Amino acid sequence: DDLEAFIKGLPKAELHVHLEGCLTPQLAKRLAKRNDMPLPDSVKKASTAEGFAFHDLTSFLAIYYPAMEVLQTAEDFADLAMDYLTKAHQQNVRYVELFFDPQAHTSRGVPFPTVLNGYRNGLLKAQRELGISASLIMCFLRDMSAEFAMATLMDALPYKDVIIGVGLDSDERGNPPRKFAKVFGRARQEGFLLTMHCDIDQQDSVKHIRQAVHDIGVDRIDHGTNIVEDAELVELVRQKAIGLTCCPVSNSVVTSDFKGKEILQLLRQGVRVTLNSDDPAYFRGYVNENIFKVAWETDVTRKELVQFQRNAFAVSWLSSWRRDRYL
Ligand code: ES4
Ligand code: ZN
């Protein structure tokens, strides 16, 4: 209807989307064929015409990492980036900050420069052919060691033209922000901006968010909606204008609650919350579908839907990243 057209027409920025989470079964099949390799079992079992099928975080991760096997050459990484950016462009997304997990590739023998040259070429092609702008945020896998993260940070130093910040993802349980304090301190010294996943309803969510703000000094938090449990933390995040990148469809898959009420409450309290897709090929929702979910299932107004996008551009790293320092 009319509201749907309104949402589709909004100029959008997306700040929380994992490149490896944009690998559709269709693209995985094409890449497997091109690389003359069998389709990984996990892809074969879990894929349908509509996308991947799974029901919680564990069953998600059990397909997510094995499916990446099909990504072998720089061209594969470029095609993955271009595939997602084509879809984002069709949804009137103007600017994207894309997460990627280099350790998921280097740990299976794909060289770091292959990943980066591929993604960089994909981003340049999308800018040239579609006019959509994108940058990379390199995530460390938090269930791997701080030493491996530091070595990965060193690998990234020659790629500051395209990597604007660092983040932290994968399994949060038992892997608090503090584990990576030294790595993030060095990343800041190197000029990278900082963000971190603080996932929905984890053990010690609020404690982890406090560590991210106080001990790490993050510029943004990915998810982070559990701050609603602590009024002081809400006020601190509001005052510091720290953006929260929320992902309603992803929330509904991994926790069975999309957190629409909490997201809207935070928006109304003046926190810079944004709406994003997380792993769209797996959760079956790009950014518009995430906004539709909030629109259909809460009492959000059109003005507030505009505010989500104002927030996204405001807490994006478009203006704070001084690309000219590195070129
Ligand atoms: C992720 Cl949903 C989710 N959780 C943790 N790590 C991730 N990486 C990509 N998607
Ligand atoms: Zn995420």
Q: How far is the CA of 3 from the centre of ligand 1 (A)?
A: 30
Task: Give the atom of ligand 1 at the shortest distance from the alpha carbon of 250.
Answer: 2
User: Given this model, what pLDDT does residue 327 score?
Assistant: 42
Query: Between residues 302 and 57, which one has the greater pLDDT?
Result: 302
Q: Give tens-digit pLDDT for 47-66.
A: 988 888 888 888 898 899 99
- The vertex-142 CA angle with 138 and 145, nearest 5°, equals 105
Task: Establish whether 18 is an annotated binding residue.
Answer: yes
Q: How far is the CA of 214 from the centre of ligand 1 (A)?
A: 23
Q: Give tens-digit pLDDT for 197-222.
A: 999 999 999 999 999 999 999 999 99
Looking at the DSSP bridge assignments, the partners of residue 198 are 223
So what CATH class is 2-315? alpha beta
Looking at the DSSP bridge assignments, the partners of residue 187 are none
pTM of the model: 0.97
Instruction: Write the DSSP string, 166-229.
Output: EEEES--TT--GGGGHHHHHHHHHTT-EE--EE-TT-TTHHHHHHHIIIII--SEEEE-GGGGG
Burial class of 49 by CB neighbour count within 10 A (0 to 12, 13 to 18, 19+)? exposed
Task: Establish whether 89 is an annotated binding residue.
Answer: no
Query: What is the residue with the minimal CA distance to atom 6 of ligand 1?
Result: 170
User: Given this model, what pLDDT does residue 54 score?
Assistant: 85
How remote is the C-alpha of 327 from its chain's centroid? Answer: 26
Q: How far is the CA of 113 from the centre of ligand 2 (A)?
A: 23
Task: Establish whether 257 is an annotated binding residue.
Answer: no
Task: Establish whether 16 is an annotated binding residue.
Answer: yes
222 CB near ligand 1 (under 6 Å): no
Q: Cα(177)–Cα(213) distance, rounded to whole angstroms?
A: 10
**In the chain, domain spans:** 2-315
Query: In this predicted complex, what is the ipTM?
Result: 0.97
User: Given this model, what pLDDT does residue 323 score?
Assistant: 55
Average pLDDT of the residues in 109-116: 98
User: Given this model, what pLDDT does residue 322 score?
Assistant: 57
Contact 97, 313 (CB under 8 A): no
User: Given this model, what pLDDT does residue 321 score?
Assistant: 67
Compute the radius of gyration of the chain from its Cα atoms: 18
Percent of the chain clearing pLDDT 70 (strictly above): 98
Q: Cα(97)–Cα(136) distance, rounded to whole angstroms?
A: 6
User: Given this model, what pLDDT does residue 1 score?
Assistant: 77
Task: Give the atom of ligand 1 at the shortest distance from the alpha carbon of 279.
Answer: 10
